[in-house]
Amino acid sequence: MQISAPVTGTKTNTATSGKHPVFPVGNMVPFVLVTVLFFLWGMSNNLTDILVQQFRKSLELSQFSAQLVQTANFLGYFCMAIPAGLVMRRWGYKTGMVAGLVIFGSGMLLFLPAAVRGQYAMFLVALFTVGCGASILETAANPFIAQFGDPVTSEQRLNFSQAFNPPGTIAGVLIGTYFIFSGVEPNAVEIGQMKAAGTYQAYLHGEIMRVVPTYLAFGVVVLLCALILSRTKFPVIQSEHEGAGEDHGSFAELLQNPAIWIAVAANFCNVGAQVSSWSSLIPYMKQYTVVSERTAAHYLTAVLIAMMIGRFVSTPLMRYIRPSLMLGAYGVCNAVMMLIAVLRPGMLGAWAVVASGFFISIMFPTIFALGLKGLGRNTKLGGSLLVMAIVGGAVFPPIAGLIARQTGSLALGYLVSLVGFAVVGIYGFYQSTQRTLLSGPAY
């Protein structure tokens, strides 16, 4: 790994945040480039919410089967997080990011043969590959940003970089809405007429092929980013002894640290609840309202806009409110939003899901930063465990889909997200009682 001046917990831009600065001085180029990665995988993650509905229609799948899109994508996180942590323990963050981008982009290119063959299993393989690449990226980028400056402001720094994830998710949903959704939604009578005329299968294949241009273009952009990042000099993170010949920690030590495992459990529930609520929104609105696919997708975009606003509003408040306490309050608020979605299916429930985006905003980066505090040389391995917990996004949506299939109610599926957000709230309040945290104004 190419290196420049070492980065320590005190070498930062003092103009940014006074006593406890947020940004690194003299190393803004790698900081900016890594922050761009948050935008990229945000686009990918929420394109899958579009794919759930598109595959459900074009491949004639049940809600449970369609949710396997999320399972395939987020299973990649589970499988690759620990190997990624081991690779970065040996070769550093930069190697992990470049490798992640290459695998990420290659998975997107696999959409072409999958669409040509029209086989759902091949799409799931492509999505699994994309998830593997994204897992490596997140395992590298999140702890890199958290460690890249003063440890007291790690939550603020990671929330700042993560604030560029929602614009990516918004871009992904908008691209999917207008380039993947055709806007053609034949009713039962029209489908019968198309079958009688022998054009229905051609229509379904055309709907499948609509995913190809978007994913091919995205794959090329990702591979170009890998090339740029490979030619950029990266600093050493001295706070975790990154460098040749250093001791990089072990999983045996992490097994004796209950704080990291509690954070892993919280992140599992957070991501599962989040992904389940988003991927169910379009089918939810199709069941309980009269809106079209594209209109329902606009509500998903509104969720992501609310999330972006939540990040930019909440991150500065962390200078005055302990991040863990804010996390607990936001978890409770989201549990209430999910309860409304369950009890009042329709437009009110849909708007409750939209409002949940604001409170989701700080959850992932705050849990991640809190989980990494004090890990030192075990930071890379701890980060890999927190990324592995993203597999919650593979587990929760099929459970919600199964509930919907068994009961005929997509609204009841939101009980799964309610439980997940409640766990996040409990974790936040628990962490706010821990006096050893270096977060917020109250220690």
pLDDT in tens, 222-266: 999 999 999 888 876 655 444 444 455 666 777 778 888 999 999
Record the tokens describing residue 68, joined without a space: 């396997």
Record the tokens describing residue 44, joined without a space: 């990918």
Containing H/E element for 340? Answer: helix 323-343
How do the domains of the chain map onto residue ranges? 23-234+248-432
Containing H/E element for 285? Answer: helix 281-288
Containing H/E element for 92? Answer: none
pLDDT of residue 17: 41
CATH ID of 23-234+248-432, from 1.20.1250.20, 1.20.58.220, 3.10.310.30, 3.30.70.790: 1.20.1250.20
Question: Which residues, other chains included, contact 66 with Cβ-Cβ below 8 Å and sequence gap of 6+?
Answer: 52, 53, 55, 56, 283, 401
Compute the CA torsion angle 109, 113, 118, 124 (nearest 10 deg). Answer: -50
Question: What distance in Å separates the CA atoms of residue 297 and residue 127, rounded to the nearest whole number?
Answer: 21
pLDDT of residue 13: 42
Bridge partner list, 3 = 234
Record the tokens describing residue 324, joined without a space: 């863990």
pLDDT of residue 285: 94
Could you tell me the end-to-end alpha-carbon distance of the chain, in angstroms, rounded to an integer? 37
pLDDT of residue 356: 97
Question: What distance in Å separates the CA atoms of residue 44 and residue 21, rounded to the nearest whole number?
Answer: 32
Cβ–Cβ < 8 Å for 441, 417: no
Q: What is the pTM of this model?
A: 0.71
Cβ neighbours of 141 (radius 10 Å): 26
Where the chain has pLDDT below 50, the residues are 1-18, 240-246, 435-443
Amino acid type, 225: C
Cβ neighbours of 191 (radius 10 Å): 12
Residue 80: C-alpha distances to residues 38, 142, 368 (Å) = 18, 15, 17
What does the pLDDT look like over 275-286, one tens digit per residue? 899 989 989 998
